[in-house]
Amino acid sequence: MKKILLILTLIISSNLAFAQYTELVNIAEENNKPKEYILYYDNGNKQVQSFIDGNDKLNGDTIYYFENGNIQGKGRMVNNEMVGDWEAYDEQSGKLSHVLSFENDEIVSKKLFYENGKLKSITPYVDGKIEGMFKEYYEDGTLAGIENYKNDLFQGESKSYHKNGELKHIGRNENGKQEGTWKYYYDNGSLGVEVVYKKGEVVSEKIYKRGEVYEENYDDIFFFGN
- Contact of 113 with 100, CB cutoff 8 Å: no
Q: Select from 166, 172, 201, 165 the least CA-distant residue to 185.
A: 166
pLDDT of residue 209: 82
Q: Categorize the per-residue pLDDT at 25 as very low, low, confident or very high, splitting at 50, 70 and 90.
A: very low
Q: Give the phi and the psi of residue 151 in degrees, each rounded to 5.
A: 55, 45
Task: For residue 184, count other CB atoms closer than 10 A to its CB.
Answer: 24
- Contact of 166 with 142, CB cutoff 8 Å: no
**Chain-centre distance for alpha carbon 126:** 11
**What does pLDDT average to over the chain?**
86
Report pTM: 0.77
- How many residues can be counted in the chain? 226
